[in-house]
Structure formats: C-alpha cells, structure tokens
Structure 1
Amino acid sequence: MILTYHPGDSLAHRLDPRTKLFVQAAFALAIFAHTTPRGLAVFTVVTGGILAAGRVSPADPIRGFAPALPFLLIAPLVRTVSLSPLGIDPAAAVEPALASYRVLLVLVVSGVYLRTTSVRDSRAAVERLLPGRIGRFFGVGVALVFRFFPVLLADLRRVREASKARLGNERSLSERMRIIGTAGVRRAFARSDRLSLALRARCFAWNPTLPGLRLERRDYPVLVVGVAFVASVFV
C-alpha cells in the first residue's frame, strides 16, 4: 500500500501545509530529545491526536512504511546478542527498542501529512519557506518525488508479481533479487525518459501558478503546539 493524498475535510486537511510541515519537524525534534518510556508514552497520545485530526487509521501509515519495519524490529534483536562474552542480554535491547518506536511514531505522523496534503500544496509550502531558485528547486524535487516514487514502487510490485506467476519464486534468492532489481532499474530509466519528454512537451516552468497559502485562525493553535514541541527540547 502506497501513501498518497486522499481528499477530505478533516482538520488536518484544512490546515495550511506550512503549519503541518512545522509541526511535523517540531514533533520529530521533540521526540528525539525525549526518548524515554514516559516521553514516548506522551508522544504516543499526541500521535493519536494527530491521527484523529487527519481521520487516518494508524494501520495506513504502518502499511505504507512497511519496508522500513523489519529494520526497526531487527535493531533491538541484534543488540541482545553479545559476542564477547557470547550470550544474550535482554536489557541491551531496551534502548534500541525505544529508538525504533520513536522512529515508528515519526513515520506515522509523516504518513498523516502525506494523506492530508496534496502535492501542489506541499510544493507551494516549500517554495514559500525557501526563497528564490533554491525554493523552486526543492519544490520541484518534492513534487516529483511524491508523484514518481509511488509509480516506481508499483512497477516493482508488478515485476515481482509477474516473476512469481512465471514460477520465479522457485529460483534462488540472489537470482530473484537480480531479476527484479534489473527490471526495476530498466523501468525506472524508461519512466525518467518519458517524464523528461512530458515535461518538455508541457513547457515545464520553474514558476508555475501555485495555490495561494494563507494562515487561518485554526492554524494558530496548531502552531502553538509546534512551538511547545520545540520548547520541550530545552526543558
């Protein structure tokens, strides 16, 4: 499942994208400063509130970031194994487990942003926050990544399904990785060529007419929450 924008009328949908970017960054900053059981318990409640504000199920961002989950699970397990002396130390898994859970909460909050913010709004927010050509460059990058990355993932999924239909799952792991990886790279380059041609055909411009952004009254309480996150780093 790929995380993409879904139109809606929730509070998160109606917030200015700059507000959401600020709160998301402040949340990540604060949670990295308070990676303790008590701190993570508080941020779990906050994450629940953010999910409710966007009317997003927690399962959606978790499924969307599924490729990263094995790494979050493996890190605590690896730390439990001690090589010198050889043995298992469960207490050593506590710190990496807290760190993995911290990253999971950040990913969930990011998933809410992706679900509730259109690509054009994200680009407009980046170009408003960063001046000049730098902002336009990063704005274009954000727009292309948001649109292009899900397409590449879908291509890889189709290649894997086609390989499986041809009994590719009976091949060795290295052979399956080679086939899927090679086909994925070929499709990525082909997509890039078509994207370049489409941009030229549509007279791609660095300064398109983007949606107007304006902070509304509902944005200010949310900005205060973001400021509180930043202030908590110094407490």
Structure 2
Amino acid sequence: METMFVESRYKGVVSDELLERIKEKINPYKKINLIGVIQYLDQMNYVKDKIKDKEFVVLSSKYRAMYPGQILGCDQYAAECEDCDVILAFTQGIFHIMGVLMKTDKKVINVDVETGKMEELDEKSVQKYKKRMMQAIGIALSAKKVMFVESIKSGQTVGAKDIKDALIKKGIEVYTVVFDEINFQRLNEFRDVDAFINTACQRIAIDDMDKLEKPIVNAEDLRPYI
C-alpha cells in the first residue's frame, strides 16, 4: 500500500498580547535558542522576525528533523546550542521538552501558541519525571500482573518480546492490550493490573501518566532494569 505523509501546520496566529508576554519572558536573556515541533514552526519564525533586539539561534538537525529549529521526540539536536542563555520552545505538553532537558542544562521557556500558556522548565522538572518513572519501574518489577499497551499504528514499537519474556521468568503475569487509539478509560477498567508498560508512542507515559489510575512506564525505560 502506498503511503503519503502530509505535514500538519497550525494556522493560528501569535496574538500581540502573547508576543508581548514572550518579549517580557525573554527580556533577561541575550542569546536565545529557538526550537519547535513542526506544527508551530511558522509561529516560531514569526516571533523571530518580530523581535529584533535579541540574538536568535536556529540550528538545523543532522538527523531526522527536516527544518531549522525543528525537534522530534527522537531528535533534539536543534536544542544543542552550548553558548545560548535560554531555550524558547514552541510545543504542546512536556514530552518534547523532557527530551530536551535530558540533553542540556539550559532553562526552557515553552510556549503553547494555541492556548497562550507559557511555562518555564528546568532540570528540576526532569527530576520530578525521573522520580515518577523510577517508582513505576519499581512497581512493574515487583508486580503480580502487568499489561503491555501496544498500538497498531505504523512506526510505533510493537511487542517488546524480550521484556515480556524476562518478566514472565520473574513469575509476573503478563497481558497485552492493543489499540488503534489509546483509550485511558478502558485501561482504567483493568483494576487487577499493577502497572502498564507502554510500547506505543513514548509520549503516553509522560504527558498522559495522570490519566491512569495505575503507574505506566515506557518499555525502553524499563529494559535496562530487567
């Protein structure tokens, strides 16, 4: 089957009010590293063009990202400006930012152009996530029952058979649920499961962890501990 991938870009504009708040937020800094997900690259470039009194750095990836300043969940090269004072990011949620913060000690100012929300994140934000991740790993390894969450979508990890086999050897009962679209309400109905292990999009175990009553950990984060 032939597959066509089409870029989806947000068509909304950066309001004057949001632009002023961005200016105020970056005022203490001189050299600013600009990054964004593909949906908001147009808004990122708009802000760059409108603010003339700052030095902006927009790096091009050597890996998967196609555009200057673009980051992916698996490619944060555009955020690796060593002599920049701060990173100004245009994303939604914290998934992409967590990847950035694990690679740099710079503060990140994250702008959600759709909601107008701005959030400052630093290494403390990563520590909070790491703490929850380690708690989830501990529960998964000492569980009676775990459930693997898998997706049928193209490009997402499926199976993690080696992890399943290792958990079974530990005497843990292993189950699998497969979705097209992940349904958190349905997952919460599995009340006798101690933990979920995610092999679908890694964002689920970061941005959406609070939607689940039981802990969830990405399979790749669990693998080093089995």
- With normalisation by structure 1, the TM-score equals 0.22
Give the structure with the higher percent strand.
2
Find the structure with the greater CA-based Rg: 1
TM-score (structure 2 length as normaliser): 0.23
Q: Which has the higher helix share?
A: 1
